[in-house]
A and B are shown apart, each in its own frame.
Chain A
Amino acid sequence: MEFVIEATDLTKKYGSLVAVDKLDLKVEAGTIHGFLGPNGAGKTTTLKILVGLLKPDGGSVSILGQELGWDNPDARSRIGYMPELPKLPKHLKGRELLDIYGRMYGMSKEAREKQVPKLLDMVGLKERGNDLTGEYSKGMQQRLGMAQALLNEPELVILDEPSLGLDPVGMVEIREIMKEIAKEGVTVFLSSHLLHEVEQVCTNVTIINKGVALASGTLEQISAKIRGPLILEAEVDKLSKTVIGKVKELPFVANVSKDGKKLFVEVKTRDDVRSRVSQAITAGGGIVTSMNLKGGSLEDVFMGLLAKNQKEEAAK
C-alpha cells in the first residue's frame, strides 16, 4: 500500500495550547481522504504543517515519499494546496494570478497557456478571468483558490474546507471536481467539518478532535469498528406481542423493545432490512405508520466518537 502522506507523532503547540497532539496520519495514494473534526480540532494546523507553512514541534512528516523539512520547495512542487477561505492578492486579475503561480511552479509558457483557461473554465470563472480578484465574491475567490491548487497537475491536492462560503450549486460543483481529479489518480486530502460532504465524496476518513486522531480508515472500516448497533425505530399501530414475536424471528435481529407505539429493533447487519422488518410487523397484525434507521450515518459515528472522547477526557 502506497501512502502519499505519512505523519508520525506530529505535534504542534501554540504556547500552552496543544493544537496537534502526537498525530499519526496516513493517506493512501489514489483516495479521497477526509479529515474530519469540529472547529478548532487541529485540522488547519495539520494541513499548514503539511505544506510547510508551520513548523511542527515534534514528530515527522513525509509527503510523496519525501521528508518534509523546513522551507523545502521541492516537497511542495508536486502538491496543490487550497487554504481555508483563500485570500488571493486583490491587485492581480484571476488569469494573471494563475499565470504567475504557474511560473512559480516552473511551468512552461505552453503549459500555462493550456492549463490556465482550462482551469478557469472548470471552476466557472472563464468570463471573469480578466477581472481583479479584489472584485470577486467570496465564492468566486473560493473557486479561484481551487483552480490554483490544481494548476501544476499535482499528485496530491490538499483542500482546507473547500466548500466554505460556496452556495449549494458551487458546493456540488466543487465536489464533482474532487471526484473528477480523483478519477485521474490524484490523491485528495480534504479537511471538512461537513459530515455529509465527507460522506458523499470520501473513500477514507480520519476523525480528529483536540489534535488527536480518534479514528482512521475507510468509511466501512470505521463503521465496523466504531458504529454502535443499527436501530430501526418504527411507529406501529396495533403493536402486540405477536408483532414483537414475528420481528424477533428474523435472523438479523439482535434485540427488540417497545415504548408505547414505538418499536425499537436492533439489527446485526448493515444491509437495508426495513422492508423485511415491515413485512414481519404486518404479518403479526401491526400497521407501520413510520420507520427510521438510526446509528447508520457518519454523523452518528462522529457524534459517538466525540462523546466517547469527551467522556474519556472527563474521566482523566
Chain B
Amino acid sequence: MSVSHSGWTVKFLAVVRYELLWNVRKKKFLGMLVVAFALATLSLALNHIAYALGGPPVELNPDFVINSNVGLGGFVFVLFAIVTTMNIISAEFESGTIVPLLAKPVSRTTVFLGKLFAAFLTLLATYCFLMIYMTVGGFLVFGPQNNLHLVPLSLVGALFSTLIWIAIVLFLGTVFRSSLIAAFGTLGVWIGTTIIGSIIGVLAGQGWIFTYIPGSGNQGFANGGPSPFGPTGTGVSTGTDSIGSNLINYILHPSWEVTYYKINIGGTTPDQIQWVRLYSEPFSNIILTSIAVALIYFIVFVAISWYVFRRAQVTE
C-alpha cells in the first residue's frame, strides 16, 4: 500500500487547501472583493470627483491613510466574515459534500480547524491587499503620509474586529446547518447592536452595555468637552469594530480620556435637547476591553461550533 501515515500537519494543510480553493473560486467572494476595492477607490477619489463637480480643490492630507482605517469599517467586517465563513460548515451539509469529506481519515477537529484557518488566511490576504492599495493610493492622491508605520495596527485591528463576526457566522451556520441563517442572522446581530443599539444607548444613557457586545459599541468623545451644541472633540466608538482605529489613536494620544453623554429630549426645538455628561474613562480601558470582548466572543462561539460539529451526525 502506498499510503504513508503522515502527521497531523499534512492532513490539516490538505483541509486548508480544500477550503482556500473554495474561497477564492467563490463568486460571492470575488464580488465582495470587487465591492471592497470599489469602495476604497471611491474614498480615494471622492475629493477629486467633488472638485470635478465644482467643489473645493483637493488639498494634501498627510493623515488620510491613518484616519481612513485603510478603508475598512464595521459593515465591511461583517460582509467579509459572512462571505468567507458562511459556507465552511453549513454549505457542506447543505450540498452533501460533507459526506465524502468526513469519510476521510481526518478528525473532525482537524477539518474544523483547517476550515477556520483557511477563512483567516483569506481575510488576511484580502486585508493586506486593501491596506497596500489604500496606502499607495493615499500617497498618490493626498501626498506624503504621516505615521505610516502604524498602518499594520489597522490590519491587526481589522482582523480582531472580523474574527468576532466570523465566530458568529460559524456558530449560526454550524448549529442551524443553514448558510442563509448564518448570513442573515449575523447581519441581524450587526444591525441590532450597531444601529438600533447605538440609538437606544445614546437616548437611554445605557450605552455602556454595547461595550460588551459585538459591533460599534458605546459612543464617547475624547479631547474635548461640553458645549451648548453638544460635546466637542473626537468621536470614539468603544466597540469591537473599532479596535484598529482605537489602537492607532491610543499610540498617538495615550493620555486621552473618553467621556460619555446621554441626550435628554424635552421637546422638538434645539434648546430642549440637552447633553448630559455620564462618566469618563482612560482610552487604555477601551482598548483592553474591546480586545478582551473580541477574544471572549471568538473563543466562546468557536468552541460551541466545534462542539456541535464534532457531534454532528450526517443524515443528509
Across the interface, do A103 and B10 meet the contact criterion of CB distance under 8 Å?
A: yes
Which chain B residue has the least Cβ–Cβ distance from A153? B1
Contacts of A53 in B (CB 8 A): 99, 102-103, 313-314
Across the interface, do A152 and B107 meet the contact criterion of CB distance under 8 Å?
A: no
Give Cα distance in the complex from A88 to B92, angstroms.
10
Across the interface, do A103 and B17 meet the contact criterion of CB distance under 8 Å?
A: yes
A108-116, A243-251, A293-301 - the one binding chain B: A108-116
Chain A CB within 8 A of B3 CB: yes
A191 to B: closest C-beta gap in Å: 14
Chain B CB within 8 A of A76 CB: yes
Across the interface, do B97 and A89 meet the contact criterion of CB distance under 8 Å?
A: yes
> Which of these, A51, A107, A114, contacts B103 with CB under 8 Å?
A51
Across the interface, do A100 and B18 meet the contact criterion of CB distance under 8 Å?
A: yes
Give Cα distance in the complex from A111 to B3, angstroms.
7
Chain B CB within 8 A of A302 CB: no
A118 to B: closest C-beta gap in Å: 11
B21-29, B129-137, B151-159, B165-173 - the one binding chain A: B21-29
Contacts of A51 in B (CB 8 A): 103
Across the interface, do B6 and A104 meet the contact criterion of CB distance under 8 Å?
A: no
0/1 string, A259-298, CB within 8 A of B gives 1? 0000000000000000000000000000000000000000
Give Cα distance in the complex from A108 to B14, angstroms.
12
Across the interface, do A105 and B103 meet the contact criterion of CB distance under 8 Å?
A: no
Contacts of B96 in A (CB 8 A): 83, 87
Interface hub of B95, B96, B104 (most chain A Cβ within 10 A) = B104
0/1 string, B291-316, CB within 8 A of A gives 1? 00000000000000000001001110
Chain A CB within 8 A of B15 CB: yes
Across the interface, do A100 and B105 meet the contact criterion of CB distance under 8 Å?
A: no
Across the interface, do B97 and A87 meet the contact criterion of CB distance under 8 Å?
A: yes
Give Cα distance in the complex from A105 to B108, angstroms.
14
Chain B CB within 8 A of A138 CB: no
Across the interface, do B21 and A96 meet the contact criterion of CB distance under 8 Å?
A: yes
Report if A104-B314 is in contact (Cβ < 8 Å); known contacts: A88-B100, A91-B25, A91-B26.
no
Chain A CB within 8 A of B4 CB: yes
Contacts of B314 in A (CB 8 A): 48, 53-54
A218 to B: closest C-beta gap in Å: 28
Across the interface, do B97 and A88 meet the contact criterion of CB distance under 8 Å?
A: yes
Report if A71-B10 is in contact (Cβ < 8 Å); known contacts: A92-B18, A101-B100.
no
Chain B CB within 8 A of A39 CB: no
Contacts of B313 in A (CB 8 A): 53-55
Chain A CB within 8 A of B180 CB: no
Chain A CB within 8 A of B76 CB: no
Contacts of B107 in A (CB 8 A): 71, 73
Contacts of B15 in A (CB 8 A): 104
Contacts of B109 in A (CB 8 A): 71
Q: How many residues of B contact A (CB 8 A)?
A: 35
Across the interface, do B21 and A77 meet the contact criterion of CB distance under 8 Å?
A: no
Chain A CB within 8 A of B2 CB: yes
Chain B CB within 8 A of A229 CB: no
Which chain A residue has the least Cβ–Cβ distance from B17? A100
Across the interface, do B103 and A89 meet the contact criterion of CB distance under 8 Å?
A: no
Contacts of B102 in A (CB 8 A): 52-53
Across the interface, do A71 and B310 meet the contact criterion of CB distance under 8 Å?
A: yes
B115 to A: closest C-beta gap in Å: 12
Give Cα distance in the complex from A76 to B108, angstroms.
12
Chain B CB within 8 A of A148 CB: yes
Across the interface, do A87 and B95 meet the contact criterion of CB distance under 8 Å?
A: yes
Across the interface, do B11 and A103 meet the contact criterion of CB distance under 8 Å?
A: yes
Across the interface, do A54 and B315 meet the contact criterion of CB distance under 8 Å?
A: yes
Give Cα distance in the complex from A55 to B100, angstroms.
16
Contacts of A105 in B (CB 8 A): 3, 104-105
Q: Which residues of A, 80-95, contact B by the 8 Å Cβ criterion?
A: 81, 83, 86-92
Give Cα distance in the complex from A91 to B102, angstroms.
18
Which chain A residue has the least Cβ–Cβ distance from B23? A91
Report if A92-B21 is in contact (Cβ < 8 Å); known contacts: A106-B4, A106-B10.
yes
Which chain B residue has the least Cβ–Cβ distance from A77? B105
Contacts of A86 in B (CB 8 A): 99-100
Contacts of B99 in A (CB 8 A): 48, 53, 83, 86-87
Which chain B residue has the least Cβ–Cβ distance from A83? B99
Chain A CB within 8 A of B106 CB: yes
Contacts of A211 in B (CB 8 A): none
Across the interface, do A103 and B14 meet the contact criterion of CB distance under 8 Å?
A: yes
Chain B CB within 8 A of A162 CB: no
Across the interface, do A73 and B21 meet the contact criterion of CB distance under 8 Å?
A: no
Across the interface, do B103 and A106 meet the contact criterion of CB distance under 8 Å?
A: no
Give Cα distance in the complex from A108 to B11, angstroms.
12
Chain A CB within 8 A of B5 CB: yes
0/1 string, A44-64, CB within 8 A of B gives 1? 000010011111000000000
Which chain B residue has the least Cβ–Cβ distance from A115? B2
Chain A CB within 8 A of B32 CB: no
B286 to A: closest C-beta gap in Å: 41
Chain A CB within 8 A of B13 CB: yes
Contacts of A55 in B (CB 8 A): 313
Across the interface, do B3 and A106 meet the contact criterion of CB distance under 8 Å?
A: yes
A16 to B: closest C-beta gap in Å: 15
Task: Report the 6 A-B pairs with minimum CB-CB distance, sorted nearest first.
Answer: A87-B96, A103-B14, A111-B2, A77-B105, A53-B314, A106-B6
Give residues in B with beta carbon < 8 Å to A.
Answer: 1-6, 10-11, 13-15, 17-18, 21-22, 25-26, 95-97, 99-109, 310, 313-315
Give residues in A with beta carbon < 8 Å to B.
Answer: 14, 48, 51-55, 71, 73-74, 76-77, 79, 81, 83, 86-92, 96, 100-101, 103-108, 110-111, 114-115, 145, 148, 152-153
- What are 5 contact pairs spanning A and B, CB under 8 A? A53-B103, A81-B100, A89-B22, A89-B95, A106-B6
